[in-house]
Amino acid sequence: MTINIKKDVLKDKLQFSSLFTKNSLIQPSLGNIMFVFKKNKLFIYASNLSSFYTTSVSIETDLKEPKEVVFDPKKLIEILSFVQDDQVSFVLDDKYLSFKSSNVKAKFPVSTANQYPQPPEIKNTVDYKTADLVSSIESVLFSSANDDTKPALTGINFTKQDDKLLIASTDGFRLSVFSAENLDFSNLSQDSVVIPAEFLSVVLRRIKEKKQVKLGFDSKEKLFYFGVEEDNFYTRIIDETFPPFLQVIPENFNLFVEVDKESFIKNIKIASVFAKDFSNVVVFDIAKNGFNIYPRSDESEGDGEVFQSAKVKGEPLKIAFNFKYVLDFLNNIKGDIVEINIVSSQAPALFRIKEDKNFIHIIMPVKINV
């Protein structure tokens, strides 16, 4: 049996499939992928047991019956990076997947596909505009935690509320919430799900140029599904309760500040040069026409000080933040004017873009002696 396939298409699919495999000394099979040959299609399956990816590629073959094999794709991916041919060939037997190009021959051991994990069929799906979904999720991804000691914080929470969907992420020090009025998750069998942020980040990069995406949920397997053209993505939800984030959002404020985003970024970076020596903390000393930004230091408060012009309404105060959290917010939003709403120097502060009322960002202040 001979299979002919476009090299660049196969290389792209294999490289992306490898993101859904896992190097494990305990379960080395998790580093494998599965090839399923059916008529004029090659179906590719990859899984690390927590997430799954399936896709298909057109092929030319004399195959009479479907055939399934499992193998480690790492060496094949490397070889494809050096092959210049537009098309490559495979010959499959019971022991090997044999590769051939104009100047390269290679054999890859294969095993049977009897035990390879596969996702369930998702029957009930809903179509969405990909641009709406991508922009909504991307706006909150940066606030999720990297430390998996609290698994719920490594995910993005989707909560149905009245006629809208709240998309939220937090690492315990900051919180991002997007209110999506054009996304309807009413087909979910539960009011709230937490989807791994790392999975979403990978999927969004793959689908963002597409027009439509299908979403589905399997309540029995607790599996969330994204489908775009021939690509299908599945992930197990994080089966832990997300923090009650709505309780953290302040409602009444005493101080309102408006600043130009680009100048704010520049001035935060100037102050950060010195703040790195003081636990990355910068102080906002807010007055009538703006505020001074300087690193928290008991010895020399004025070192590295920079003035930020702003529109200010309310009584002056000092409030301190980890500058990295402020820069993360500023670098991940689109718009020109930043609003900072403050209750007190000890209470969570609300950051937002003036042009976008659907997105809010909360940063916990750092305690300082005022």
pLDDT at 25 over 60: no
CA–CA gap between residue 189 and residue 300 (Å, rounded) = 57
Give the pLDDT confidence score for residue 24 in this predicted structure.
67
Same domain? 260 vs 358 = yes
Please identify, among 59, 82, 109, the residue that sits at the C-terminal boundary of a domain: 109
Q: Does residue 207 sit within a domain?
A: yes
Q: Who contacts 46 (Cβ-Cβ below 8 Å, separation ≥6)?
A: 17, 18, 19, 20, 21, 33, 34, 52, 53, 54
Of the listed ranges 4-8, 280-284, 366-370, the least confidently predicted one is: 366-370
Same domain? 225 vs 256 = no
Assess contact for 49 and 87: CB atoms under 8 A: no
Helix locations, the chain, DSSP H: 7-17, 74-82, 130-141, 197-207, 261-275, 323-331
Q: Does residue 369 sit within a domain?
A: no
Q: Does residue 8 sit within a domain?
A: yes
Same domain? 242 vs 260 = no
CA–CA gap between residue 208 and residue 56 (Å, rounded) = 19
Q: Does residue 115 sit within a domain?
A: no
Same domain? 292 vs 231 = no
pLDDT bin (cut points 50, 70, 90) of residue 162 is confident
Same domain? 40 vs 142 = no
Q: Who contacts 342 (Cβ-Cβ below 8 Å, separation ≥6)?
A: 253, 254, 255, 256, 257, 286, 314, 317, 319, 349, 350
Give the pLDDT confidence score for residue 278 in this predicted structure.
84
pLDDT, the chain, mean: 91
Assess contact for 63 and 74: CB atoms under 8 A: no
Q: What are phi and psi of 241, to 5 degrees?
A: -75, 130
CA–CA gap between residue 53 and residue 14 (Å, rounded) = 11
Same domain? 131 vs 236 = yes
Q: Does residue 118 sit within a domain?
A: no
Which residues form the domain of 85?
2-109
Same domain? 335 vs 260 = yes
pLDDT bin (cut points 50, 70, 90) of residue 308 is very high
Distances (CA, A) of 342 to 82, 113, 173, 247, 349: 57, 58, 16, 16, 5
Q: Does residue 187 sit within a domain?
A: yes
Mean pLDDT of 71-95: 93
Q: What are phi and psi of 215, to 5 degrees?
A: -120, 145
Assess contact for 232 and 223: CB atoms under 8 A: no
pLDDT, tens digit, 9 for 90 and up, residues 169-221 = 999 999 999 998 777 676 666 788 999 999 999 999 999 999 999 998 888 88
Q: Does residue 120 sit within a domain?
A: no
CA–CA gap between residue 101 and residue 82 (Å, rounded) = 11
Is the pTM higher than 0.85? The answer reads yes
Number of domains in the chain: 3
Give the pLDDT confidence score for residue 335 in this predicted structure.
92
Same domain? 266 vs 348 = yes
Same domain? 345 vs 320 = yes
CA–CA gap between residue 173 and residue 365 (Å, rounded) = 9
Q: What are phi and psi of 225, to 5 degrees?
A: -130, 135
Same domain? 325 vs 219 = no
Amino acid letter at 154? T
Amino acid letter at 151? P
Please identify, among 109, 142, 166, the residue that sits at the C-terminal boundary of a domain: 109
Give the pLDDT confidence score for residue 62 in this predicted structure.
82
pLDDT bin (cut points 50, 70, 90) of residue 115 is confident
Give the pLDDT confidence score for residue 272 in this predicted structure.
94
Q: Does residue 287 sit within a domain?
A: yes
Assess contact for 130 and 116: CB atoms under 8 A: no
Please identify, among 76, 109, 142, the residue that sits at the C-terminal boundary of a domain: 109
> In this structure, what CATH number is given to the domain that contains residue 274?
3.10.150.10
Please provide the DSSP assignment of 17-51 as one string: HGGG----SS-GGGG-EEEEEETTEEEEEEE-SSE
Give the pLDDT confidence score for residue 325 in this predicted structure.
97
- Alpha-carbon dihedral sign for residues 200, 127, 33, 121: positive
Same domain? 145 vs 212 = yes
Same domain? 61 vs 148 = no
pLDDT bin (cut points 50, 70, 90) of residue 271 is very high
